[in-house]
Amino acid sequence: MTGEQAEEQADAARARRLTWFTARWNLSPAVAAAVVVGVVCAAAGFFASRVDLALVGIPLLVSAAIAWDRRPGEQARVGVSARVDAAGGARLTSTVEATSDAGADAVELRISLRGQPPIDAVVSRRRAERLTGTLTAGHSGPQRLVSVETRMIGADAAIVTEPTPPVTAERVVAPRVRAVRSLPLPSRLIGLTGPHDSARPGDGGEFRDVGLFAAGDRLRRIDWKATARRAQTPGELYVRRTMATSDAAIQFVIDSRDDLTGRVADWAAAYPRPGIGSQDLAREAAASLASAYAAAGDRVGFDDLADARRGIPPRSGSRHLQRVLRAVAQTGPRGIATERVRAPVLAPGALVFVLSTFLDEQALGLALVWRAAGHRVIAVDTLPDRLTSDLTPRDRVALRVVELERTLRFRRLAAGGIDVMRWQDEAGDTRGARLRELSMPRRPR
């Protein structure tokens, strides 16, 4: 392949990536203002018989006419592209491209990054054909990382095109998966086979007792020592009986109706400052626990309180785990907080993790309903540690009321037999200690 053919293929691939728009050429605001001033001065000079006023206005009108006559055409085709490529760790590479098939001296770009005010820049046409920068993905989940609006600037900045519609680059950032060593189990295991010992007799588990040989017992389970010691008649055999093994069904329910950072002053801000949000903690907790349970051979499922169509029933296998992890990574705030008409359907005997900020009653009500149905429920508080240094006295009082309401909800959860834990673990291994505590065998009440 020659160099010219490679360049043609590169240009063709680049053209396919661009989104093309048709924009009209217009006078720039400065030239439009000059036209208005020129018309006013010429009219005033004509009616007032003032030659000096006419001499001020005529050059402005002539320069505007020359600029309009030098425009490349009635319309211009503008191509814009914005994309984000993966990089090492949490850093992403963003690329912005803007070009036109009409003559232009410069390009004006308005670049909006996630969570930041727009940035306006004027660059040369050649420089705008490829702008590359590095972004830091401070959050997981679906996010609109880059949004670009552009317009072409003609000769001497006298004419400009209309702004193009915004072109966005979206990407789903996978949450961090932490190592989890202690895994709580449901109150009862009803699976047919798995890595855990169940409470029913069967094959594969721990020793239960020694009993008489019966139809269906395997010959390899005959205990010859017990037979020689206990047999009363010829042909009487004793076998070793064991407990059956079973797997656990784990359901993760994320309350994705809100996403709040630890800085309370930014809860209602249009551009909140960077920080770990409640959805980041919820996605991290669900991904970490689901990976650990799937590695142990258990079945995992997923449900979203904000979208009833995204439910995934518990199953096992690596492919199913990837499906659950993709669903967790795509979880994010969707619209306004609304009440769920019908509670998600759970597998019998499943262990339910409810990951929520518990700022309202919906997650609390569903957790109590599932606990009353016989499921073991663990409520995971995903609200980050609050930062209140920049709050006004009135806001501090409002936050105090919110905290008291959350405390009452957690007390109602504990009174209903639901375990409560926090996922954020900044000092020490309190999260691991809580998981070890929840993983210990529990006596039935």
How many structural domains comprise the chain?
3
Q: What is the CATH number of the domain that holds 159?
A: 2.60.40.10
**Which SS3 state, helix, strand or coil, does residue 406 take?**
helix
| pLDDT value, residue 404 | 95
Per-residue confidence band for 401, with pLDDT thresholds at 50, 70 and 90? very high
pLDDT of 199 above 70: no
Token duo for residue 114: 């996630």
Per-residue confidence band for 328, with pLDDT thresholds at 50, 70 and 90? very high
Question: Are 19 and 117 members of one domain?
Answer: yes
| pLDDT value, residue 6 | 53
Question: Are 88 and 102 members of one domain?
Answer: yes
Per-residue confidence band for 23, with pLDDT thresholds at 50, 70 and 90? confident
d(CA 438, CA 379): 12
Residues 6+ apart with CB under 8 A from 81: 17, 18, 19, 95, 96, 97, 98, 167
Question: Are 105 and 220 members of one domain?
Answer: no
Question: Are 264 and 395 members of one domain?
Answer: yes
- DSSP conformational letter for 157: G
Question: Are 294 and 228 members of one domain?
Answer: no
Question: Are 299 and 352 members of one domain?
Answer: yes
Question: Are 88 and 165 members of one domain?
Answer: yes
| Residue 89 CA: distances (Å) to CA of 171, 200, 285, 327 | 15, 47, 19, 21
- Name the residue range of residue 224's domain: 199-246
Q: Which of 246, 278, 308 is the last residue of a domain?
A: 246
- Per-residue pLDDT tens for 117-149? 788 888 887 888 787 877 777 788 888 778 888
CA dihedral defined by 23, 26, 30, 34, rounded to 10 degrees?
180
Per-residue confidence band for 15, with pLDDT thresholds at 50, 70 and 90? very low
Question: Are 207 and 135 members of one domain?
Answer: no
Question: Are 237 and 302 members of one domain?
Answer: no
CA angle 228, 230, 233 (to 5 degrees): 85
Average pLDDT over every residue of 73-91: 69
Any domain includes 402 = yes
Question: Are 155 and 215 members of one domain?
Answer: no
Q: Which of 156, 173, 190 is the last residue of a domain?
A: 173
Question: Are 277 and 128 members of one domain?
Answer: no
CA dihedral defined by 298, 323, 91, 289, rounded to 10 degrees?
-20
| pLDDT value, residue 208 | 58
pTM of the model: 0.73
Per-residue confidence band for 253, with pLDDT thresholds at 50, 70 and 90? very high
Question: Are 110 and 256 members of one domain?
Answer: no
The number of beta carbons lying within 10 Å of the beta carbon of residue 272 is 16
- DSSP conformational letter for 88: S
| pLDDT value, residue 300 | 93
Q: Which of 121, 155, 173 is the last residue of a domain?
A: 173
